[in-house]
Amino acid sequence: MTSGPMTSGPMNPPAGHPAAFEAWQALVAPGDVFRHPREVVAHPHLSRAEKRAVLASWASDACALENAPGLRCLAGCRAEPVPVDAVLAALAQLDGGAAGLPARREPPRRRPRGLAALRRSGRPGRRDDDDDPPPCPAAAMPRPRPPAGTGARALCMPA
């Protein structure tokens, strides 16, 4: 039996973590592994999809600081507040710079109005804004009169 502390063994794992453990920890608790979004992009053991997932969660509003909505901070021991622009720049770098520029969109084309649309609208050139007064209630019909000659008769029967 040896005396003195053991440096590694089943109860004391070696000081250096294997790459698989570090990649797993980066996905489960990214705040314990990363301080800045550049570190996520440069991580050698994460796939592109995993890096995107970490950065997207970092950019979400769930990581926003309460009194500084422009800053994001992951939960963890190494986490530091980072501007959301830095996280978005890291996402753009991961995508090859294409996401950094906003996409130019064409204005939507107007479709010609067909005859059916004109018929549905009622009067051409005027929209129904549905603020017309309610219709008048139907007049109450008088109680019908009994036919002439059939007045109310009382029958008298001897007791």
Task: Tell me the per-residue pLDDT of 125-155, one tens digit each, with 9 for 90 and over.
Answer: 566 667 777 776 666 667 778 777 665 565 6
**What is the pLDDT at residue 100?**
47
**What is the pLDDT at residue 141?**
66
Mean pLDDT on 90-119: 68
Q: How many CA atoms does the CB half-sphere of 121 hold within 13 Å?
A: 11
CA torsion sign, 86 to 88 to 92 to 95? positive
Task: Tell me the per-residue pLDDT of 19-67, one tens digit each, with 9 for 90 and over.
Answer: 555 667 777 777 788 888 888 888 888 888 888 888 888 887 677 777 8
**What is the pLDDT at residue 127?**
62
Supply 144's token pair: 């019908």
pTM: 0.46
User: Does residue 72 sit in helix, strand or coil?
Assistant: strand
Return mean pLDDT, the chain.
71
**Helices of type H across 10-121:** 19-28, 37-42, 48-59, 84-94, 115-120
Q: How far apart, in Å, do the first and last CA atoms of the chain sit?
A: 131
- Domain limits of the chain? 19-100
Burial level of 159, CB count in 10 A (0-12/13-18/19+)?
exposed
